[in-house]
């Protein structure tokens, strides 16, 4: 499971601004007064999400794109809603930076026009709908998940994993969402890590192939294989065909958690947004399989939202860990110390942290087989 939308916010940003105080001669300046403003912001955070999700569900941004711009009355007609709720929704979306207003007319902000219009190449609305329809209801039972240590988005008694194909509509939303997130995370990885030394890439759990598509586009010498479950490989094959890179990209169906070895013949293995889905024992086993599949000098690249060594942040990684509680049986977000320790104990050498700024990852941990 992948991550939710990139955030650079931190709890530091939520601290109330200090009140100005007059300091008299000889008087010790008092610390700023505490207020519940930061708690209010935390408490009402769902207002923003649910307003956003409602706009996506109503296809507000698609309709505004078709109109170019619209008054409240014109938007009401396009949405089939009364003026009052339309006015409130438009104001809310404008306040969130999703719409812009000139005079009496609203139009999509650039980010909405690029990512929230149905049919655009990197449409993000699938992820919004996935979170709204699957994860938001499950988060209502987060205390249950905390007390029982069991996911609330699916039933381990009746499903093999959260990635099974039992719910085709929800899985379609999930993979659509992941493609958009993965594409831009792959671009960040390509900007930060040089794949020039590699020739053949194996993307383990590669989904629809966003990472190899982007990496092969910018590295013409590189070829790649998506290794994933059979029904996911079918989705990847469609994306590969659309990309026009079928001469250098292919798929191999398999389950990286079973007892079979990983495909060999690759000099770099990518694990992007994979390890946070599983427990430590499963991750160590997978890293051992990566080591066995690589030749001497081959590299493994772990791309994740990584916690700091103290496991106190950043929030995007820590809160994704909470999301793993409601989505997985044993997943969590791990610290850079944990990842480097596992890599070293699997036999890899020279682990290093490559910082990233992307929706799906804040770092890549790269190590080589000696």
Catalytic residues: 276
Rounded-to-integer distance, Cα 55 and Cα 44, Å: 18
Rounded-to-integer distance, Cα 357 and Cα 359, Å: 7
How far is residue 325 from each of residues 142, 149, 156, 256, measured CA to CA in Å? 8, 7, 13, 21
Nearest 5 degrees, angle CA 175-CA 176-CA 180? 110
Q: In what order do the strands lie in the sheet with 200-204?
A: 249-253, 223-228, 200-204, 268-272, 299-304, 363-369, 348-355
How many residues are listed for the chain in this entry?
370
Rounded-to-integer distance, Cα 155 and Cα 120, Å: 34
Give bridge partners of residue 106 from the DSSP assignment.
70, 101
Question: Exposure of 309 by Cβ count < 10 A (0-12 exposed, 13-18 middle, 19+ buried)?
Answer: exposed
Question: Exposure of 358 by Cβ count < 10 A (0-12 exposed, 13-18 middle, 19+ buried)?
Answer: buried
Give bridge partners of residue 146 from the DSSP assignment.
none
How far is residue 97 from each of residues 52, 130, 161, 181, measured CA to CA in Å? 11, 21, 37, 19
Residue 344: enclosing H or E segment and its boundaries? helix 336-345
Residue linked to tokens 């929704």: 89
Give bridge partners of residue 70 from the DSSP assignment.
106
Rounded-to-integer distance, Cα 305 and Cα 65, Å: 33
């Amino acid at each position: 499971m992948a991550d939710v939308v990139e955030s650079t916010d931190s709890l530091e940003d939520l601290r109330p601004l200090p009140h100005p105080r007059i300091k008299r001669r000889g008087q010790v300046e008092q610390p700023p007064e505490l207020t519940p403003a930061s708690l209010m912001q935390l408490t009402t955070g769902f207002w923003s999400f649910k307003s956003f999700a409602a706009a996506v569900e109503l296809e507000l941004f698609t309709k505004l794109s078709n109109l170019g711009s619209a008054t409240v009355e014109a938007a009401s007609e396009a949405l089939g809603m009364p003026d009052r709720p339309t006015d409130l929704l438009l104001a809310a979306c404008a306040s969130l930076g999703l719409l812009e207003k000139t005079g009496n007319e609203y139009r999509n902000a650039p980010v909405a026009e690029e990512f929230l219009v149905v049919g655009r190449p990197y449409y993000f609305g699938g992820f919004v709908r996935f979170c709204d329809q699957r994860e938001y209801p499950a988060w209502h039972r987060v205390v249950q998940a905390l007390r029982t240590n069991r996911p609330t988005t699916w039933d381990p008694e009746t499903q093999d994993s959260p990635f099974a194909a039992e719910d085709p509509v929800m899985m379609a939303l999930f993979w659509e969402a992941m493609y958009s997130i993965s594409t831009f995370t792959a671009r960040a990885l390509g900007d930060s890590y040089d794949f020039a030394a590699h020739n053949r890439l194996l993307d383990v759990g590669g989904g629809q192939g966003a990472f190899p598509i982007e990496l092969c586009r910018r590295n013409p010498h590189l070829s790649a294989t998506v290794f994933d479950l059979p029904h996911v490989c079918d989705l990847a094959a469609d994306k590969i065909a659309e990309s026009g890179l079928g001469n250098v990209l292919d798929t191999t169906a398999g389950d990286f958690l079973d007892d079979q070895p990983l495909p060999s013949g690759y000099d770099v293995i990518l694990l992007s947004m994979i390890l946070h889905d599983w427990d430590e024992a499963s991750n160590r086993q997978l890293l051992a399989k990566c080591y066995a599949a690589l030749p001497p000098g081959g590299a493994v690249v772990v791309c994740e939202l990584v916690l700091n060594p103290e496991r106190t942040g950043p929030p995007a990684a820590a809160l994704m860990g909470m999301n793993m509680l409601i989505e997985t049986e044993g997943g969590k977000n791990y610290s850079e110390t944990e990842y480097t320790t596992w890599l070293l104990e699997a036999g890899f050498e020279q682990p290093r942290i490559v910082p990233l700024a992307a929706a799906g990852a804040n770092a890549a941990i790269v190590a080589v087989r000696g």
